Structure 1
Amino acid sequence: MAIKQLARKKDGLGLWSLTGLVVGSMIGAGIFNLVQGTAEAAGPLATIIAWLITGVGMIFLILSFRNLTIKKPKLNAGVYSYAEAGFGKYVGFNSAWGYWISAWIGNIAYAVAVFSALGYFFPDLFGKGQNWASVVGMSVLLWSVHLLILKGVKTASFINALVTAAKLIPLAIFLLAIFLSFKVGLFNQDLWGLAGNNFDMGAVIEQVKNMMLVTVWVFIGIEGAVVFSGHAKKRSDIIKATLIGFAGVLSIYVLMTVLAFGVATQKDLAALDSPAMSMLLERLVGPWGAWLVNIGLMIAVLGGWLAWTMFAAELPYQAAKNKTFPSIFAKENKVGAPVVSLLVTNILVQIFLLTIPGTEGSAYNIGISIATSAILIPYALTAFYQLKVSLQEKKTVKYRAFNIFVGVMASVYAVWLVYAAGMQYLLITVFLYAPGMLVYVLMQIKNRKKIFTLYELLLAVVVIALFAYAVQQLLAGALDDTLGIKIADLIGQ
């Protein structure tokens, strides 16, 4: 976004402003349902293993961002610019497209989270946040956020302090409550999350895999400082902000998910209604705990919604300026807000909101899983580019070997994430990426550029083949459980 009100080039964002963006984008709706999502996926020890893998993997991604901001300072549009510089125009377009998709689908999850919290106060009206009354409310909020951003980011920036307090106060009380209520015997009751508390390597690995989409979702945002890197006062602040934000948020996530197994069984935690934190705190301290968490959640999620709408608008805007996205996305209003990028983004969100009442299961969990799957490709391409840049450096360059190691480890982690997500989410991701090919082709024709190089053409053929297979699986009903919608019933209607 042309964030002229937030960070004019002459002063820019300082360390703590960048840190606030990173923390603000990471701690959102996800943390309020993290206990339930964790217990649904894994037992206590598998949870610890999953956080260890995620923590190490994310550190290598952070170091990759650090190295690239130093070695490639002109690539200040962030994530997509690395993919384009390393692997060509079409790959760069897909990185931008995937990042954008992840952001606006994540906003759908935010919307469900808000109205699941409101459902606690008004159960007859909003239920669990997935009925038509909720969709009407979501739509009103969606376009209210839209208008707020159109007025300029400075108009919205005062909300940050309130949002931060709304997140941290309930979190602090929740952590204190589960710490004081923690029972060692209950925690040890089912360490591996398996019948009889028996160890089974295959089952534990499966639990760890199931945790990956959960853990990555709550860390989406580590690239936040990089997305706004062109507006940083000092480039050295970018990595500092990311590391500070990451370390603090990781500590909170590990404590709350692991300690929760000492106050309730895995089965009980997995069965908690959304928002899980409020339901569990109500059991521990009474109704006031649920009130506190639900109010905090609504404020925090609205802040996260605002932040991710800003992120969603920033990347198409920057990509359009670089002719990676259609030029119309670069259009601004008088205060510098990207009007077309915002409008298209929120129209897509609105369309998907209308599908929520027909969703079986948790629309929130489905939303975060799809949003996470969509962003895995941009993350992977960043890791691959970090490796490529390091390998191409002269052997005399300082820290070359270390940077190669970072690139290898970040790439391994990225590939592991795609594998852990599974084939069904890969196919759903293909559904979301494939339409972008048409946009890309039309844009290249308009700009009188060569559409594909040879290897890009081969890549496009692979995408088309996967898309055809995904359509076949969709029509066969193989993706019904993942999407939460019975396709055969929709076709029958």
Structure 2
Amino acid sequence: MGTTDAPAPPSTPAKLTLPTLTAMVVGSMVGAGVFSLPRRFSEVTGVAGALIAWAIAGVGMLMLAFVFQNLAVRRPDLDAGVYAYAKAGFGQYLGFFSAIGYWASACVGNVTYWVLIMSTIGAIAPALGEGDTALAIVCSTAGLWAFFFLVRRGIKEAAAINRIVTVAKVIPILVFIVLALFFLKPHVFAENFHGADYAGSLFHQVRGTMLATVFVFLGVEGASVYSRHARRRKDVGRATVLGFVSVFCVFASVTVVSYGIMPMSEIAKLRQPSMAGVLEEAVGTWGRVFVSVGLIVSVLGAYLAWTLMAAEVLFVAAEDDDMPRFLRRANAADVPVPALLMTTLLSQVVLIVTAFSEDAFDFALDLTGALSLIPFLLAAGYAVMVALGRGGAGPSPGAGRELVVSILATVYTAFLIYAAGLKYLLVSLIIYAPSTVLFAMARREQGRRLFSPGELVVLAVSAAGAVVGVVALALGWISI
């Protein structure tokens, strides 16, 4: 699985097939998010708002999936997807920002996995709370470093494990959907249709779900990020679309059927993973246990995939001289160990920060979505350039379709930045701005000028935003 027919020597990168690439896309997306959907949606919207939100998210993310599919074919020379496209379209510094944003979103996303695992176990071990107690953080830390040593053994082994886990974790989610449909109460579903009194206007309801939908769809670009290991380049695009369509159907179904089991005001008060509470209401205690076991398998698989992709982005950026040289080092198993170490260290820092947040899981989830928006926007913007015959790709007979798709993807990601709000933009900049030190280190190693005039403008804006963010947190204007 995930290798060529003949055994490869240790120094040869494992070549990934279409099924393995598709499994990596599905494995990246199906993680903590799907198990949290019932509560996340019920906190802000009813059935009508949920249907509209999924329609918007489905079309928008499908356009992004098509963007990555088109770019994989039109620019096969670009590896590490999101980062490489931003650099090709908007220059080295914004490309660096895209790499940092994507990498940081993966690291923060990994924290949500451990918080949710601890919260799940906390239902029977109260000392773990909802994943934010001291004991939970200690246990999560042990898990972080255990996976560091697992992935360090080799990409080939990790990718094969992910493919197996992806199949295993989808089964309990599908069982949840079937059981929820069987026990669905039409009158409860009808009462939840327009939302509870606290939900507000329909527009407010839809806007409130946007970051949650971004989080659960993160990973749609997984095959593109990992494209240097693909056996056939065209498989990258195919895996992206196949993975997206499969997962979209599952996510939308999980959300909608939950409204037929309990009043949304009660779903909104469930502890995470809320899917477990919904199924417990339907079938009894064994439903919570069943979902909880499925969650742990699912989350560990997604964590593995995200750790791989995060390290890969830093590694390729270093190979392109956009990160310091120490990040381009890889061991005999083709694992970029310094990049993997940095990934684990940032996850460790964020894990500690969650102990001071009002809701550790929701904070980490929303920040993950917010950090990914700038990389997605830059990739979509580059796709517009390619469709117009620029960006180094040349003309294409399907340029008209590509242009429509890329414009829709750009508009969608711009709307997501608006929906995320100022709070998460400022918190994101607190991560973006200091990371410029790595960019300066890379430039100094090459004996180049640190920043061009245009890059200085970007630096000034990001630094100013980071300062405002720190002051806002210190004075309590915004909270985590």
TM-score range, shorter chain: over 0.9
Alignment counterpart, residue 389 of structure 1, candidates 383, 386, 390: 386
The separation in 2 between residues aligned to 1:356 and 1:422, in whole angstroms, is 20
The residue number in structure 2 matching 1:435 is 434
Change (3 A) 1:160 1:466: closer
- Which deviations, in whole Å up to 9, do the C-alpha atoms of 1:144-166 show, x marking residues without a partner? 10111111133334533552344
The residue number in structure 2 matching 1:464 is 463
The separation in 2 between residues aligned to 1:226 and 1:107, in whole angstroms, is 19
1:135/1:356 contact within 8 Å kept: no
After superposing the two structures, state which structure 1 stretch, 346-355 or 50-59, moved more: 346-355
Q: Superposed, which structure 2 residues align to 1:74-473 within 5 Å? A: 74-123=77-126, 125-160=127-162, 162-195=164-197, 203-360=201-358, 362-392=359-389, 397-473=396-472
TM-score, normalising length: structure 2: 0.94
- What secondary structure does 2:194 align onto? coil
2:433/2:463 contact within 8 Å kept: yes
After superposing the two structures, state which structure 1 stretch, 207-216 or 235-244, moved more: 235-244
Overall identity of the aligned pairs, in %:
36
The residue number in structure 2 matching 1:489 is none
The residue number in structure 2 matching 1:491 is none
1:85/1:92 contact within 8 Å kept: yes
- Which deviations, in whole Å up to 9, do the C-alpha atoms of 1:253-307 show, x marking residues without a partner? 1111111111111101111111111111111111111111111111211111111
1:190/1:196 contact within 8 Å kept: no
- What secondary structure does 2:316 align onto? helix
- What secondary structure does 1:280 align onto? helix
- Which deviations, in whole Å up to 9, do the C-alpha atoms of 1:151-190 show, x marking residues without a partner? 1133334533552344222212211121011122221214
The amino acid across from 2:181 in the alignment is F
CA shift, 1:86, in A, is: 0.6
The separation in 2 between residues aligned to 1:218 and 1:101, in whole angstroms, is 16
The residue number in structure 1 matching 2:18 is 15
1:106/1:368 contact within 8 Å kept: yes
The separation in 2 between residues aligned to 1:53 and 1:206, in whole angstroms, is 14
Q: Hey, which bits of structure 1, 4+ residues long, moved more than 6 A?
A: 3-11
Gaps of 5+ in 2: none
- What secondary structure does 1:33 align onto? helix
- Which deviations, in whole Å up to 9, do the C-alpha atoms of 1:433-489 show, x marking residues without a partner? 010122212321221122222222222221122223223322221112xx1xxxxxx
The separation in 2 between residues aligned to 1:363 and 1:285, in whole angstroms, is 29
- What secondary structure does 2:434 align onto? helix
The residue number in structure 2 matching 1:487 is none
TM-score, normalising length: structure 1: 0.91
2:31/2:302 contact within 8 Å kept: yes
CA shift, 1:6, in A, is: 12
CA shift, 1:8, in A, is: 8.7
CA shift, 1:354, in A, is: 2.5
- What secondary structure does 1:262 align onto? coil
The separation in 2 between residues aligned to 1:22 and 1:129, in whole angstroms, is 26
The amino acid across from 1:263 in the alignment is I
- Which deviations, in whole Å up to 9, do the C-alpha atoms of 1:187-229 show, x marking residues without a partner? 12142215399xx8xx211111111100110000000010111
1:131/1:356 contact within 8 Å kept: no
The separation in 2 between residues aligned to 1:32 and 1:295, in whole angstroms, is 11
1:7/1:231 contact within 8 Å kept: no
Change (3 A) 1:315 1:467: same
The separation in 2 between residues aligned to 1:333 and 1:453, in whole angstroms, is 35
Query: How big is the alpha-carbon RMSD for the aligned residues of Structure 1 and Structure 2?
Result: 2.2
The separation in 2 between residues aligned to 1:325 and 1:343, in whole angstroms, is 15
After superposing the two structures, state which structure 1 stretch, 432-441 or 106-115, moved more: 432-441
The residue number in structure 2 matching 1:488 is none
- What secondary structure does 2:433 align onto? helix
Gaps of 5+ in 1: 484-493
The separation in 2 between residues aligned to 1:247 and 1:94, in whole angstroms, is 29
- What secondary structure does 1:234 align onto? coil
The separation in 1 between residues aligned to 2:240 and 2:335, in whole angstroms, is 25
Tell me if 1:41 matches 2:44: yes
The separation in 1 between residues aligned to 2:366 and 2:249, in whole angstroms, is 22
